[in-house]
Amino acid sequence: MRIAVIGQSVFGAEVFKLLRKNGHEIVGVFTLQDVNGKQDPLALAAANVGVKVFKYSKWMVNKKVIPEVYDEYQALNAELNVLPFCSQFIPNEIILFPKYQTIIYHPSLLPRHRGASAINWTLMCGDKKGGFSIFWADDGLDTGPILLQRSTFVDPNDTLETFYNRFCFPEGIKAMGEAVEMIATNRAPSIVQPEEGATFEPFVRKDKVQINFDQPAAVIHNFIRGNDKVPGAWTLINGEQITFFGSRLWSRLPPRGIQVPLDGAKYSAIVHKDGMILFGNDGKMLNVSQVQYSSGKMIPASKFGKEDSSAQKLELTPEEVSMENNLKAIWKGILNTDIDKTLDFFKAGAGSMDVVRLIEEIKVSFDIKLAIEDVYMNPVFDDLMMCVIRRGRGIEDKEPFTYDAVEIEANKMKLKFPHQVFIDNEFVDSSDGATYDTINPADETVICKVSKATKEDVNRAVEAAKAAFEEGEWSKLNARDRGMLLFRLVDLMEQHQEELATIESLDSGAVYTLALKTHIGMSIQTFRYFAGWCDKIQGKTIPINNARPNKNLTFTKREPIGVCAIVVPWNYPLMMLSWKIAACLAAGNTVVLKPAMVTPLTALKFAELSVLAGFPPGVINILPGSGTLVGQAMSEHPDIRKLGFTGSTPVGKTIMESCAKANLKKVSLELGGKSPLIIFNDCDLDKAVRLGCGAVFFNKGENCIAAGRLFVEESIHDEFVQRVIEEIKKMKIGNPLDRSTDHGPQNHRAHLQKLIEYCDIGVKGGATLVRGGKQCDLPGLFFEPTVFTNVEDHMMIAKEESFGPVMIISKFIDGDVNGVLQSANNTEFGLASGVFTQDIDKAMRVADSLDAGTVFINTYNKTDVAAPFGGFKQSGFGKDLGEEALNEYLKTKTVTLEYK
């Protein structure tokens, strides 16, 4: 068919190319006159292949066709006019002249939204369905019979750009080609438009799009997005016209930020780190991402009312002056006009394709990568030049990460750490402003005040974690990039390990050397181990019965669970955090963690390092506070899908019950222990004494796998006890920051008091107190390493753990392996256990019989990041560390497909 194409834009150019590809003869292209010497993309496409191009400023005068124009058009003898996008009024003589007359593309589902601003009105009216029509032109305005329509859903957060690029552009080009084929084969319908449901809306203009805030938030949102980019909906703030762009509905809690009164609005706007919140008269919210001043300057809405560092002029180096001249040349090549520093890129006629070209030319010329938003935010030449210079110098526009830091000196170093709750990559006060004191157990002085999280803080943290998991940058990372983030984090932890160890020592009472090696050292090892797992989490292919004659393929996918809650204890604050968070993040989840109320500081320092490592907002959230409030709120929260807990058995039971009642969330529990250590008379006694003491007194006995009861064979019992006493006498008790100290203070006063009560019960119950049993005669929370003997199975101290430096010794008859195993297993706990003997057969028999998650043979406390850790019975279920730990934070999906 002989076709005349009348229109403009990239859309018109693509339709032109498709019609030629389909074998049609394009006899002429009619488009707009050049703007500043720039040809329209349709004109360029036609000129490149030698098709005649006609450029008229207008087709009619006094509503009559211009004779010269009509004659030129007639001479082409077109059989069909195709108008892909046409902003000019075409005379009826032209429309009706061809054999098949004229078809037009219109971006709405006619008869709805007749008029020039159809897509705008589709969004402004909040239509659930939108699309385009191809219709036969007549002398009305978008009223001709319908040839073809295509429709799709309109997303509540679609903008002009997203809806056009997602559907109207790609599907519209294909549909124009299809419509022409239908005409060529005499299959094209002509369906008269109904008047029912017909609308005609005026062209949107800047003076007509002031926002009325006395409407529901959804209506305001639709109005703003319907005017996105052009012309831009606006309001008055302090008398200045401010235009809003990038609106999205906001279903989260109102963010914290700076309130800004709006002209005619019931509620003030809230400027926050992700934009500006606007309220409708229904109290619901929307968020805008950019604002534009009356001067034309566009900025992120999050920076409104703040000092704009990007507006500061920089002194240019000679090399940068040369860059400025090169950038002027790039602009001139695109805009075809003289460039001065005040020239606005878009007011000079640039369009969206020119933005892409500008970014690419800057990248090639200067090796500097800009984002599309950089051009829209800096349309004036001088502003964009400053943006290019800042990028070249490595200066980002985003605000620097700052927080209200606690700064103290200790351990011959200056310490700086946070003290507020950490939500969505920000340190903020708790919602009610409440704080509590965290205490140094070495002298009971106050280290600092810490924000005490509330239920509202839990809700905010979970919201942030859910958004990060479902739609944030974290959700888009591939596994290997996730691993690189974890490696960056662990590198920072290693760089700050002395600072972390000092904070841990101050806050928990851990001996500094132990904190450096174990508390922090194993935390670093744990993160490094799990960072390596990120891109090795794999499913399986499974052979199943085929549905003959077809075949089936079944495979499994290992997927993250979602938002996970983690509650950790106070004995190893950072290490327990690391054991759980590292596996959780490696699997791709997001996390809300509650550190122990008495030891929050290394968790908060860890949060700071996570931001410096580049973790996106919402991935990690830290909420210090009480277990009964914060922990319970986590257990009951419907958007948390997994809870990992380390702590006491009674609290674990409460958590499990709450999780089951709330939403049946997945739970893993690492709970109490009463770990037996059996020492046979054929052991290496020197080693058994040394490691037996370590099994009990390591980390002041505040150790979940501490040997809660030692069973010593009768023939070596007395010597063993005597040698243990000698070892205790050598221990240096005192300042945990002193490098020669062996034994530091207990974690907090309430725990110290429980240890005193525990020992009193042991004495009253008939056990023999050989040494200790009381607080040291020192300032601070120091407790003497304690030894009980003659402990029998029925006694309380034989059944319950002390969680302190208390050695419980029972002797058993030489050779009575079965008897000692019966006593060792006569407990509801099953976390760890140990055996010392040089008889490997006996060692393996005992290891097979001990009912505990970990068995140590001729060693103790030998945990490793690659070995799974977790207990049996009332010591809980689920594993930390090793590959098995990943299973706690993954779900398995089975996929089966059928094929021929």
pLDDT in tens, 153-164: 999 999 999 999
Residue 582 half-sphere exposure toward CB, CA atoms < 13 A: 32
477 is annotated as contributing to ligand binding: no
Given a contact cutoff of 8 angstroms between Cβ atoms, the answer to whether 448 and 438 are in contact is yes
- Is 89 marked within a binding site? yes
Q: Is 874 annotated as a binding residue?
A: no
Is 264 marked within a binding site? no
Say what percent of the chain tops pLDDT 70.
Answer: 99
> How many residues appear in the chain?
900
Report which DSSP code applies to 616.
P
Q: What is the pLDDT of residues 21-52, one digit of tens each?
A: 999 999 999 999 988 778 899 999 999 999 99
The answer to whether the annotation marks 88 as part of a ligand binding site is yes
Residue 629 clears pLDDT 60, i.e. is over it: yes
Tokens matching residue 168: 């109207």
Q: Is pLDDT above 60 for 564?
A: yes
User: And the tokens for 888?
Assistant: 């706690």
Q: Is 802 annotated as a binding residue?
A: yes
Q: DSSP label at 7?
A: -
pLDDT at 139 over 90: no
The verdict on whether 419 is a catalytic residue reads: no
According to the annotation, is 760 in a ligand binding site?
Answer: no
Across the chain, mean pLDDT equals 95
Q: Which of 704, 717, 759, 784 is catalytic?
A: 704
Q: What is the pLDDT of residues 574-610, one digit of tens each?
A: 999 999 999 999 999 999 999 999 999 999 999 999 9
829 annotated as belonging to a binding site for a ligand: no
Active site residue: 201, 426, 608, 670, which one? 670
Cα–Cα distance between 266 and 283 in angstroms, integer? 9
* Per-residue pLDDT at 308: 64
> Is 754 marked as binding a ligand?
yes
Does the annotation place 823 within a ligand binding site?
Answer: no
Q: What is the pLDDT of residues 779-801, one digit of tens each?
A: 999 999 999 999 999 999 999 99
Let me know the angle formed at the C-alpha of 400 by 395 and 403, rounded to the nearest 5 degrees: 165
How much is the average pLDDT of 136-147? 91
**For the chain, what is the total number of helices (H) and then of strands (E)?**
29, 40
Other CB atoms closer than 10 Å to residue 611's CB: what's the count? Answer: 18
704 labelled catalytic: yes
Identify the residue with better confidence: 309 or 331.
331
Q: What is the DSSP letter of 341?
A: T
CB-based contacts of 255: which residues, under 8 Å, 6+ apart?
A: 270, 272, 273, 274, 277
Say if residues 874 and 827 touch (Cβ distance below 8 Å).
Answer: no
By 3-state DSSP, what share of the chain in percent is helix, strand and coil, each rounded to 5? Answer: 40, 25, 40
Among the residue ranges 253-262, 344-353, 642-651, 741-750, the one predicted with the least confidence is 344-353
Amino acid 313: pLDDT: 73
244 is in an annotated binding site: no
Which candidate, 384, 521, 404, 499, places its Cα nearest to that of 863? 521
Residue 628 annotated as lining a ligand binding site: yes
pLDDT at 153: 97
- Point out which residues pair with 789 in neighbouring strands: 768
- The 3-state secondary structure of 409-431 reads EECCEEEEECCCEEECCEEECCC
Per-residue confidence (pLDDT) for residue 772, from 0 to 100? 97
134 has a pLDDT exceeding 80: yes
Q: pLDDT (tens digit, 9 = 90+) per residue, 356-399? A: 899 999 999 999 999 888 888 888 899 899 899 988 888 776 77
Element of type H or E holding 899: strand 890-899
